[in-house]
Chain A
Amino acid sequence: MTSRRKVIGASSFLLALHLAILFAGFIAPSDPASQNRDFPFAPPTRLHFVDAQGRFHLRPFIYQTEPAPEGLYEYLENRAQAYTVRFFVSGPKYKVAGLLPLHTHLFGVDSPAQIFLAGSDSYGRDQFSRILYGGQISLAAGLLAAGISLLLGLLVGCVSGFYAGWIDESAMRLAELFLVLPWLYVLLAIRSFLPLHVSPAETFFLLVAVIGTIGWARPARLIRGIVLSAKMRKYVTASRGFGASDAYILRRHVLPHAYGTLLTQAALLVPQYVIAEVTLSFLGLGLSEPMPSWGNLLANLQQYSVLVSYWWMFLPALALVLVSLGYLAVADAFHQQLQSGSM
């Protein structure tokens, strides 16, 4: 019972994260690419609840950020006028999941004030919006790459477990080779062989394909093991006796054993691949500006001055940690569920 509750808890946390990132346009107050050259490295805007007269407001308000008269990249709050945070305001246009054009945002403030919930970057772009939009790219990369790995692993694992013989032998030797390769080194090497300057969309799919293809070996080995043990069952022999085809047996009697493992593997692979994308983009071999991804948001920190002075540039890392925390919790819960045999 408790393990079931764990699955539900962890999955709903993860679902909430994914929904927030999917509806980035709605939640983010501004466009990820719109620059405010007057506000480079503005600190996170403070939300106030108590005004100058000491009265408490349930609805938070902010003061406009202004560059300090002296000092570079230093800011003050202009306390002359308060701007209340409004909900469901109309703002810059965006598309929900790339389809539905809208311009209602979850929250915002009246101009000329601007709200930077997580500060702004060197071009004065709203970091909070960029984290949300960047999540779309990073998560999509992780999910797609995990899909590729699992599909390849499922295919190879089924074929080599079911048909055995030389196919099995050679596939497993190849898997061994892929397992012994240090994956990050290989990822970098392959990336270096691919063209460096191509369109962002092409880079994205190349990256996903490379990350996904390298990781096929582990799921393939696991699936093979399951197929091997499942095909020894008596009911498989029986259905073969009734004249069932290989494809039917695989689909109907063998693969159902593998679903739990597949789900657990997926929950483990997705964060790993999100991190792979982040790493490559961080190193400058992945997606590049102006497309926001968690990797190239974090790449700002490669400058020591940014690393030391502006703590809010670390916030993309927090998003990354939350996502991997969620996925690992789900993987853990699946695993427990699987061990207790109720899945």
Chain B
Amino acid sequence: MKFLERRLLHAILLLIGASLLCFLFSTLAPGSYFDEMKLNPQISSATVAALRSQYGLDQPLPLRYEHWVKSVLHGEWGYSFAYNLPVRGLVVVRARNTLLLTSLAAALAWLIAIPLGVWTASRPGQWEDRLSMAGTSFLLSVPELVVALGLLYCVIRTHALPVGGMVSADHDSLGLWGRVRDLSAHLIVPVATLVLASLPILIRHVRASMMEVLQAPFIQSARGHGIGRMTLLFRYALPAAANPLISLFGLSVAGLLSGSLLVEVISGWPGLGPLLLEACLSRDFYVVVGVVTASTLFMILGSLLADVMLAMADPRVRMDNV
């Protein structure tokens, strides 16, 4: 329990650090959302000043930060200038969509990577192994941007799947089964992009750590006892190779999150990515801070989850940290 507490405290400190950093960077900004209003002759400069003070933009940085922290504790997360709404409502809806996308992609990517990595590790140098190495090398050097654009091209060309958004226009009129089908049709392109982009690293890591374990003496002796190939690989070798992979799981969440920004923008998925891009272009400061903090929260949760899983899987880790 002590272990979990320490990790949680660490996570909270990191979150505070991230939001502080955001505020610090914002002081570099020469302009703000209301600057464009100054160009409009119908709005007096007094109105602009009043708006600025209403949103607390005329206050010094420490005060602004304090104000923001209070607003987070009230469950508002600051106020969006462009939407004229509390940020939390905006971010939570979008974050849910991003979470749906990334968690599906993460699950799928690992489901593919583990068998493939184990299989290629069990036959090093064979044609399957070489093929997978060549494939991963190639995929590794194709950026997500290109994968997303390529998939989008195929989809638009073949009219196989709906493009853009999360649901079709007639979504509400469909039955439950129809809704699920509609949603999954929209999910295919972004999920496939994320899986393709994250797969090569995962396969390589699974293969590398399996290779290492397969050379251990206990595998030799298990083989000598006549234990079947599949049992040997998945029951004996994989758990022994799991530690670095569990740590990688935390990192892979991070990679997926950064990747999903781009994929969401390109395939029109209403997640955090498009919201952040919009807020960046219109300098909607609190939305930017809210999105960055939310995505940092996801990353921290990812690594926290990995830590907890690691502690459950390996008693040595638990002992070290107490």
- Interface of A with B (CB < 8 Å)? 176-177, 180-186, 188-196, 271, 275, 278-279, 282-285, 298, 301-302, 304, 307-308, 314, 317, 320-321, 324-325, 327-329, 332
Contact = CB atoms under 8 A, between A and B. Distances in A.
Given A181-B18, A193-B283, A283-B265, 18 more contacts: A182-B258, A182-B298, A184-B259, A185-B276, A188-B280, A189-B292, A193-B26, A196-B281, A279-B262, A282-B145, A283-B277, A284-B281, A302-B266, A307-B156, A320-B143, A324-B143, A325-B137, A328-B141
B261 interface: yes
B87 to A, nearest CB: 14
A265 to B, nearest CB: 16
B29 interface: yes
Given A177-B17, A190-B25, A192-B280, A182 B145 contact: no
A275 B147 CA distance: 13
B28 A184 contact: no
B141 A185 contact: no
A182 B98 CA distance: 14
Contacts of B292: 181-182, 185-186, 189
Contacts of A195: 29-31
B299 interface: yes
B85 interface: no
Nearest to B16: A177
B149 A301 contact: yes
Nearest to A283: B277
Nearest to B147: A317
Contact of A185 (B14, B291, B300): B291
Contacts of B299: 180-182
Contact of A298 (B142, B149, B300): B149
B206 interface: no
Nearest to A323: B141
Interface in B155-172: 156-157, 163
Given A298-B149, A320-B146, A180 B300 contact: yes
B22 interface: yes
B193 interface: no
Contacts of A324: 140-143
B198 interface: no
A95 B296 CA distance: 45
Interface residues of B, number: 51
A189 B293 CA distance: 11
Contacts, number: 130
A23 to B, nearest CB: 24
B22 A188 contact: no
Contacts of A275: 143, 145
Interface string B194-231: 00000000000000000000000000000000000000
Q: Which 7 A-B pairs have the closest CB atoms?
A: A192-B280, A193-B29, A324-B141, A325-B141, A184-B258, A317-B146, A182-B295
A184 B145 contact: no
Nearest to B291: A185
B83 to A, nearest CB: 16
B57 to A, nearest CB: 13
A131 B251 CA distance: 34
Contacts of A278: 143, 145
A321 B18 contact: no
A182 B149 contact: no
Contacts of A284: 281
B187 interface: no
Nearest to B164: A304
Interface string B250-294: 000010011101100110000010001101110100001101100
B18 A271 contact: no
Nearest to A275: B143
Contacts of B137: 325, 328-329, 332
Contacts of B26: 193
Instruction: Pick the most buried of A176, A190, A282, A328: most chain B CB atoms within 10 A of its CB.
Output: A190
Nearest to A302: B266
Contacts of B28: 190, 193-194
Given A188-B277, A285-B280, A182 B257 contact: yes
